[in-house]
A and B are shown apart, each in its own frame.
Chain A
Amino acid sequence: MAAASVIEARELSLTFETADGPVYALSKVNLTVHDGDFVSFIGPSGCGKTTLLRVIADLEQASEGAITVNGMTPEEARRQRAYGYVFQAPALYPWRTIERNVALPLEIMGFGATERAERIARNLDLVNLRGFEKKFPWQLSGGMQQRVSIARALAFDPKLMLMDEPFGALDEIVRDKLNQQLLELWARTRKTVVFVTHSIPEAVFLSNRIVVMSPRPGRIIDVIETNFPKDRTLDIRETPEFLKVAHRVREGLRQGHSYED
């Protein structure tokens, strides 16, 4: 299966100049993400996983190396609305109802009213939030708000989803449920997903490739392929194969840390 590559990073480095001297957020990162991949970046805080995602999204610019998104520079890709981004917090606009929050990217990208209504209905369905159209964000629980933000990112149907610890602030029960829903969504829509997390079970359960990262300087220390069935459920987390992969991720994370502890 030689799918086309969506993201190509070669010797990518990013250094922040701060008052206390340079911070090496990313150092010589090489990465290829193929069409239809579900790739997770996992690592402790400060390992550059969020920074790498933000570079892909053109919310941050690399200082060295090359990166392409859909064969373009990240800026061109952003201007062509190549990706949907889901942040750590829902970042819904409190003065807009749920449906108008989902409509936000559609308004900006110039979709007509009937097209908007159809896409709002379809994507709120996808995240099981029908019937909440007229509510305001602050009337919903944290998990529901994050699902709205996923519906909003899906609304304009980007091929690429960039998700930055979207479930990090949620409790474990809600997180499990959303993980299952996200996996089903991925299997159904055939999108490419790049997912940042610091939860090992989450990364192993969701991804077909796990990128293990380590801090100071932020770099990739291991890339693990998994091949669990596409229709897997949360029960898979008890199986030996799952635990084996999780163990390898944990080993990688431990190696990354060893020389400084």
Chain B
Amino acid sequence: MIAALRHKRFAAIGLLALSGLLLWLMAHLVTARPGILFWIGVLVLWALVWIGNDALSGIRTSSPLTTRLRNLAVPAIFGLTLLLLWQLAVKGFGIPLVLLPAPSDIWSKLITSLPTLAADFVQTFLRAVLPGWALGSLAGFLVAVLCDAWGFLRRGLLPLGNLFAALPIVGVAPIMVMWFGFDWHSKVAVVVVMTFFPMLVNTVAGLQAAGHLERDLMRSYGASWFDTLVKLRLPAAMPFIFNALKINSTLALIGAIVAEFFGTPIVGMGFRISTEVGRLGLDMVWAEIAVAAIAGSAFYGIIALIERVVTFWHPSYRSRKDP
């Protein structure tokens, strides 16, 4: 039984390795307009990788380490296969670079333009996205706490906040550029406007999330509003607050990039995308997109990790084991 299982496991991994390698070789060697046999070969190899990956995702693992490895390998193989097929299709069908560059073209552009990409990253991500995200989220949080302390603020401010959220970013961005200038300050302002409202509504909802018994308990102790806030309602609101932080991380990136379309010094991811599109340098546009995707995922991932640590007690994370 165990021998059979092991046998199956090796077969799956061997199949994956072999078909993946062949597919990679084909992607590497492909020239324009190959024959029908080539495409049949591609389809067969793709099917084999698919079957191999399916088998891999289904095998039973014996230790947490191998489970982890497997859980990483399955999506990685899936993504790599997509990249290979992309490469094969673009090169094989001779698709022009302006329509869709091959992954290899994007990669070579990326490694030859590292200084430019780094400068753009610093300008857009470090100077606009991060401060704007932090300021907007903090402002939303503070206003939510104020709304909670004074009921009339909740009734008066929340509808206004709603209006805020409905403002179209392409309308706000030029105004912010007029107010705060071409440099990163105006981008920060746009990001603040975009991230304020999600944090406001989520925190207001989160502060209502504590149960009735838990509140009655605080009342029975004669606890002050502040004690109740700090010891009960804020901890109970944490899952909501982290939701807003995660939503805001993607909103901030979109906001900062789009805001650069409306006036910027000659650096920044949004600036680069808009000018390179004009010069038909689509490989550079894709390189910027790749950087944005990696930075955005990492940003989101870090927040999600912190969330797990802070809200370890939440039913979606906790286990009966010791944490």
Is B320 touching A108 in the complex (CB atoms < 8 A)? no
Q: Which residue of chain B has its CB nearest to the CB of A91?
A: B213
Is B222 touching A85 in the complex (CB atoms < 8 A)? no
Is B220 touching A59 in the complex (CB atoms < 8 A)? yes
User: Chain A contacts of B312 at CB under 8 A?
Assistant: 95
Q: Known interface pairs A91-B217, A107-B231. Does A136 touch B323 (Cβ–Cβ under 8 Å)?
A: yes
Within 8 A of B (CB), among A94-109: 94-95, 104-105, 107-109
A83 touches B (CB below 8 Å) = yes
Is A78 touching B227 in the complex (CB atoms < 8 A)? no
B58 touches A (CB below 8 Å) = no
Q: Which residue of chain B has its CB nearest to the CB of A84?
A: B220
Q: Which residue of chain A has its CB nearest to the CB of B211?
A: A91
Is A108 touching B322 in the complex (CB atoms < 8 A)? no
Q: How far is the CB of A103 from chain B (nearest CB, A)?
A: 10
Query: Please, what's the 1-or-0 string for A126-145, where 1 marks a CB less than 8 Å from any CB in chain B?
Result: 00000000011011000000
Q: Which residue of chain A has its CB nearest to the CB of B214?
A: A91
Is A108 touching B231 in the complex (CB atoms < 8 A)? yes
**Which of B220, B222, B235 has a CB less than 8 Å from the CB of A93?**
B235
User: Chain B contacts of A139 at CB under 8 A?
Assistant: 320, 322
Count of chain A residues with a beta carbon within 8 Å of a chain B beta carbon: 26
Q: How far is the CB of A260 from chain B (nearest CB, A)?
A: 29
Is B220 touching A83 in the complex (CB atoms < 8 A)? yes
Q: How far is the CB of A160 from chain B (nearest CB, A)?
A: 11
User: Chain A contacts of B322 at CB under 8 A?
Assistant: 135, 139
Using a Cβ cutoff of 8 Å, how many contacts connect chains A and B?
A: 59
Query: Please, what's the 1-or-0 string for B211-251, where 1 marks a CB less than 8 Å from any CB in chain A?
Result: 10110111111110001000110010000000000000000
Is A79 touching B220 in the complex (CB atoms < 8 A)? no
Q: Once the chains are docked, how many angstroms separate the CA of A58 from the CA of B221?
A: 11
Is A78 touching B220 in the complex (CB atoms < 8 A)? yes
Q: How far is the CB of A8 from chain B (nearest CB, A)?
A: 20
Is B222 touching A87 in the complex (CB atoms < 8 A)? no
Q: Known interface pairs A108-B227, A138-B313. Does A81 touch B216 (Cβ–Cβ under 8 Å)?
A: no
Q: How far is the CB of A111 from chain B (nearest CB, A)?
A: 12
B6 touches A (CB below 8 Å) = no
Is B231 touching A89 in the complex (CB atoms < 8 A)? no
Q: Which residue of chain A has its CB nearest to the CB of B238?
A: A95
B318 touches A (CB below 8 Å) = yes
User: Chain A contacts of B235 at CB under 8 A?
Assistant: 93, 95
Q: Once the chains are docked, how many angstroms separate the CA of A94 from the CA of B219?
A: 19
User: Chain B contacts of A79 at CB under 8 A?
Assistant: 222
A62 touches B (CB below 8 Å) = no
* Apart from the given pairs A85-B217, A95-B311, A108-B221, 12 other A-B contacts in the complex at a CB distance below 8 Å: A81-B221, A81-B222, A83-B220, A84-B220, A89-B213, A93-B214, A95-B235, A95-B313, A104-B221, A107-B231, A108-B218, A136-B323
- Which residues of A approach B to under 8 Å, CB–CB? 57-59, 78-81, 83-85, 87-89, 91, 93-95, 104-105, 107-109, 135-136, 138-139
**What are 28 A-B contacts defined by CB distance under 8 Å?**
A59-B216, A59-B219, A78-B220, A79-B222, A81-B222, A85-B216, A87-B213, A87-B216, A91-B211, A91-B214, A91-B216, A93-B214, A93-B232, A93-B235, A94-B313, A94-B314, A95-B312, A95-B313, A104-B231, A105-B221, A108-B218, A108-B223, A108-B227, A135-B322, A138-B313, A138-B315, A138-B318, A139-B322
Nearest 8 A-B pairs (CB), nearest first?
Answer: A94-B313, A91-B213, A95-B313, A85-B220, A79-B222, A87-B213, A108-B223, A95-B235
